[in-house]
Structure 1
Amino acid sequence: MSSNKDEFDKSQERMKDAVNQVAEELDISYIRKLQREMHLCSAGCYEGRGVLNRKQIDGCEEQCRTKYQAVVAKVDDEFSAWQDQLNRCISTCQDKQHQQFGTDFSKLSEQQRKQFSDNLAKCAGVCMDEHVKHLPKLKDRIVTFLKKSS
């Protein structure tokens, strides 16, 4: 029988893989295209538009970056909100253990420390598994934003 620590590690690995998969899918399907467009647009600021001064070129480049920067901000906001929710869930797990065992870990017996750690690992693992289930909706929100931005 595997320990709660093993289950925690498996949950953590599943979560990491799921986050990486969503990020990779967004990158390959949408973000790289936007990044390419941004760079091509920026390159165009230097050619074929007559004689522009430095300030005009800088303004042109800034305009080229606007759409890409908005997308990056949206992706960052969505993943940050998801991470914050996960952190709150895990903090609640820790609070529950402190309520049961107290806040001074050094005063716990070895058996209580193990129980504290096992309970925390189990609860945190559940948090991670539950939050992985939210990733498809997170991805959908980002894709909807990307499609509206196109």
Structure 2
Amino acid sequence: MASEAQTRVQQSFHQLMNDLDKSCMRNIQGEMHKCAAKCCDRTDLSMEGNHECISRCSQPLQSAQAYVEREVNAFQDRIERCVLSCQDSIKDKIGANTTDDQMKGFTAKFESCVVKCVDTHIGLMPNMLSKMRQSIQKGSYN
């Protein structure tokens, strides 16, 4: 059951990243390449100047990518903390004399808790996507 939950999170993240790519990141990439092409067209620039120009063109994309990475990492940390909380809750209930049947019950409770974490966080993804889109479109990466 926990592996199914992990698969659902991965699929949801994959969809989120595809949506973000199509709605925002590709536009920034296109602008970067257009800008870099203009740098290359400038014969007044030295080789170093051309490299600096191209580097400046890539800054918006690098900033957006760093922002997305921070947001995704923070979200993954939230899921991990939720799962660790499930684990701690179960560990607190296990005693020295815990029977196999009790352990099966604890395992089921743990898996149920993990599924709840996953469901909750998957439910947050549309808002996360919307927030990231807005930030990227504004160029605001706080």
TM-score by shorter chain over 0.5: yes
Question: Aligned pair in 2 of structure 1 residues 96, 53: CA closer, same or farther (>3 Å)?
Answer: same
Q: Which residue of the partner structure matches residue 85 of structure 1?
A: 78
One-letter identity of the residue aligned with 1:34: I
Give how far 1:23 is off: 1.0
Q: Which residue of the partner structure matches residue 105 of structure 2?
A: 115
Correspondence list, 1:124-139, <5 A = 124-139=114-129
Unaligned runs of 5+ in 2: none
One-letter identity of the residue aligned with 1:70: S
One-letter identity of the residue aligned with 2:103: R
Alignment check: 8 A CA contact 2:24 2:137 kept = no
1:63 aligns with 2:56: yes
Give the aligned CA root-mean-square deviation in angstroms: 2.1
* 1:126-147 deviation line (CA, Å, top 9, x unaligned): 0000001111111111111122
Q: Which residue of the partner structure matches residue 130 of structure 2?
A: 140
Secondary structure (helix, strand or coil) at the match of 1:51 reads coil
What is the CA–CA distance in structure 2 between the aligned matches of 1:11 and 1:87, rounded to whole Å?
12
1:100 aligns with 2:90: no
What is the CA–CA distance in structure 2 between the aligned matches of 1:115 and 1:56, rounded to whole Å?
67
Q: Which residue of the partner structure matches residue 65 of structure 2?
A: 72
* 1:34-68 deviation line (CA, Å, top 9, x unaligned): 11221222222211x22322221121011101111
One-letter identity of the residue aligned with 1:44: K
Secondary structure (helix, strand or coil) at the match of 1:134 reads helix
